[in-house]
Amino acid sequence: MTEGVNSSPIPIDFYDYDFENDSLLFNCKGLQYESSIDLGNIILDMDVDGRPMGFELLHVSRMFGVPKSAIKNFVKFGADISISEEVIEIKCTITVPLRNRKTEKIAVSQGINDINIPSAQIAMAY
């Protein structure tokens, strides 16, 4: 991974919303899965080169404070992933339809970088 912010976000190729379990999965195709990191409400998937390749958001409607129906019909999604020597932080932004207009909601989750992932800043978008 390279340090610094990517000039353009990495495109997310696939997503799936599990309405019953209220979980939202995002993934980038073409990368080989290696491991996952549990950050509370977010599980970050890493590829064999130590790069983020996707993530799963748990209890999504509660995380963003919106009904499940709004999550199911989201318009736009983005994630900014910051990795330092000490901390991994993911800031998620979702745009959902609420009261006949598009509304942006933000949620942040973080955890300890206890597996020595190299420092980086990555943006992903769908």
Query: Mind listing the pLDDT tens digit for each residue in 55-92?
Result: 999 999 999 999 999 999 999 999 999 999 999 999 99
- Judge whether residue 111 has pLDDT over 80: yes
Stretch 23-34: mean pLDDT: 93
Q: Is 2 part of any domain?
A: no
**Which residues form the domain of 65?**
10-125
- Judge whether residue 3 has pLDDT over 50: no
CB burial of 10-46 (b: ≥16 within 10 Å; e: otherwise) equals bebeeeebeeeebbbbbbbeebeeeeebebebbbbbb
User: Which pTM value belongs to this model?
Assistant: 0.88
pLDDT of residue 6: 47
**Total count of domains within the chain:** 1
- Judge whether residue 53 has pLDDT over 60: yes
Q: Is 4 part of any domain?
A: no
Please, are residues 37 and 111 in contact by the beta-carbon 8 Å criterion? yes
Q: Is 1 part of any domain?
A: no
